[in-house]
């Protein structure tokens, strides 16, 4: 199963207040981050059986993101995305591939912009 094809679970813009960034002010003051997930997996068993035990809990995915984003500190959002992707693949064996998008709307850049974001695509090793 590859990103762009197959069944997927999408969770958009989980908002967290955290302390990621290169600058001392970011570590001291913190800021808002938005994290979105796309998880590719076969949803047929869960859907056909109307059985969450054959799928993935959205609440568990959100909890993982919140725990990592708030409980750990990263200098760059690429590292935050990597950690979330690795954790999802390690803890959710039904998920074959994941895309994690981390938005940093308050990035310390002297320009007017809506947001800065990175997307990390990772797939389970076969």
* Whether residue 104 lies in the annotated active site: yes
Question: Can you tell me the distance from the alpha carbon of 101 to that of 122, in angstroms, rounded to the nearest whole number?
Answer: 12
CB 104 within 8 A of CB 117: yes
Q: What is the DSSP string of 35-83?
A: EEEEEE---HHHHHHT-GGGS--HHHHHHHHHHHHHHS--SSHHHHHHH
Chain center to CA of 48: 27
Catalytic residue among 12, 13, 54, 104: 104
Nearest to 40 by CA among 97, 114, 101, 100: 97
Residues annotated as catalytic (active site), given as ranges: 104
């Amino acid at each position: 199963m590859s990103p762009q094809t197959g069944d997927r679970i999408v969770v958009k813009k989980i908002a967290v207040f955290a302390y990621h960034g290169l600058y001392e002010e970011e570590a001291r003051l913190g800021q808002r981050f938005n994290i979105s997930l796309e998880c590719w997996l076969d949803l047929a068993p869960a859907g056909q059986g109307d059985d969450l035990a054959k799928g993935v809990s959205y609440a568990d995915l959100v909890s993982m993101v919140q725990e990592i984003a708030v409980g750990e500190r990263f200098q760059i959002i690429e590292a935050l995305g990597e950690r979330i992707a690795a954790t999802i693949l390690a803890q959710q064996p039904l998920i074959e591939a994941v895309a994690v998008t981390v938005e940093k709307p308050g990035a310390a850049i002297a320009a007017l912009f809506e947001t800065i974001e990175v997307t990390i695509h990772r797939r389970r090793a076969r």
